[in-house]
Structure 1
């Protein structure tokens, strides 16, 4: 019996996504929940078309490679601050890729919308990649970042902090990932600048929200600012500003949303072919 094309595509997409996700779990790039979430998102992306799936794979490999470069040094510099380690869980996967997965679903259900939503989706994932690049490169590079909230130097890994090196990495990553989206065939060449610019807007939004509204905590025992509910010393931390529900994952989601809205508005005002 011949398997209908939509089902065969779904099965092939599931097999490819599951294989990559659980290989990433073995490499400690994803947790178990992260691998399951990546499998779901990857399957939907593959069903939307190979350019969708291909761009997602390239993005994930890029982000994972960045996380591994200088991992020991970055872990030492951010120990006691960041709430989550290098293994992405389901929350992080959907925070960074949820908009992309949603738009891939729309492309599957309504194929005539695919050319439009592909640019919006690419912009969302480019923003996540640009933000990741700024964080990873800025943390790896020797130097002390500058907080947009306090206008003072802060520890590496502090949300809402910027550095010259991290900012350059952000822009370069937006252009690089936008170029990959063109080469793979997800977006037309004319949409490169809009996609890259939208990614920069999204990543900058992430920084502003991280500095202003993201939940902040403090360890009274160590007298250190942190994002961890329980500090590395074992002491429960207390709220010290921001909105309790605005976790780092929520900020990352808003990063991709800002990029998506910018790309959608840009297509409406300046149609690209």
Structure 2
């Protein structure tokens, strides 16, 4: 494993602000909610740096992160905590977990799936590694694993029932497919990876109201 992970000053500042919002408005679960986000960050770094040398050879290694990455991944979870604070509705708590499960699933799929043969679901056309909207068998299993790492962590951190965590894991997995769908549009010049990532997290959160 050889790589780096850097966050620029604006990205760090935004991440700090979001962290404070989650910690304060998430009271009395603020620390647990923040720890769940830290788990996402930690395993995302591990996934990013896995096979870094190979990724660099393929010119698809992305170790540096900026404010756009922070917004695209962290805005939805932060909004869910704000909504939870003002409404007291625990559905927003579940949506918080689901949104993080979705972005984790997406991160695992994109960072680990490149070591398999990627293809578009529509037409089953094989494409180059790193193509937005592409899926792979390895990436699919990786995304499922990533989603369940987060959902099962919520059992310990937030005392959620195991059955609830199971469905949140599935929601996170499904949210990742929203990234694949909108990623195809990205390849056609509609949107970018940041808007696609935001949609992924938002879809994961909204699916909670369809499932629960």
Task: Give TM-score scaled by structure 2 length.
Answer: 0.89
Q: Aligned pair 1:125/2:100, yes or no?
A: yes
Contact 1:126 1:195 in 2 (8 A): yes
Distance in structure 2 (CA, Å) of the matches to 1:170 and 1:36 = 29
3-state SS of 2:64 partner: coil
Which residue of the partner structure matches residue 155 of structure 1? 128
1:1-273 alignment runs, 5 A limit? 28-47=5-24, 48=26, 49-77=30-58, 79=59, 85-110=62-87, 112-113=88-89, 115-139=90-114, 141=115, 143-149=116-122, 151-185=124-158, 187-211=160-184, 213-214=185-186, 216=187, 241-243=188-190, 246-267=191-212
Structure 1: runs of 5 or more not aligned: 1-26, 217-240, 268-273
Runs of 4+ in 1 over 6 A off after TM superposition: none
Contact 2:72 2:197 in 1 (8 A): yes
Bigger relative contact order, structure 1 or 2 (CA pairs below 8 A, ≥6 apart): 2
Are the structure 2 counterparts of residues 85 and 186 from structure 1 closer, same or farther at C-alpha, using a change threshold of 3 Å? farther
Are the structure 2 counterparts of residues 186 and 55 from structure 1 closer, same or farther at C-alpha, using a change threshold of 3 Å? farther
Distance in structure 2 (CA, Å) of the matches to 1:125 and 1:133 = 12
Contact 1:161 1:207 in 2 (8 A): yes
Structure 2: runs of 5 or more not aligned: none
3-state SS of 1:146 partner: coil
Are the structure 2 counterparts of residues 262 and 173 from structure 1 closer, same or farther at C-alpha, using a change threshold of 3 Å? same
Contact 2:106 2:143 in 1 (8 A): yes
Contact 2:5 2:45 in 1 (8 A): no
Contact 1:55 1:186 in 2 (8 A): no
How many residue pairs end up in the alignment?
205
Task: Give TM-score scaled by structure 1 length.
Answer: 0.70
Q: CA deviation at 1:199?
A: 0.5
Contact 1:159 1:207 in 2 (8 A): yes
Q: CA deviation at 1:132?
A: 0.3
1:127-170 C-alpha deviation (Å, 9 max, x unpaired)? 0000100111112x2x4311235632211100111111111111
Distance in structure 1 (CA, Å) of the matches to 2:65 and 2:159 = 25
1:200-249 C-alpha deviation (Å, 9 max, x unpaired)? 111011111112x11x3xxxxxxxxxxxxxxxxxxxxxxxx342xx1110
Bigger Rg over Cα: 1
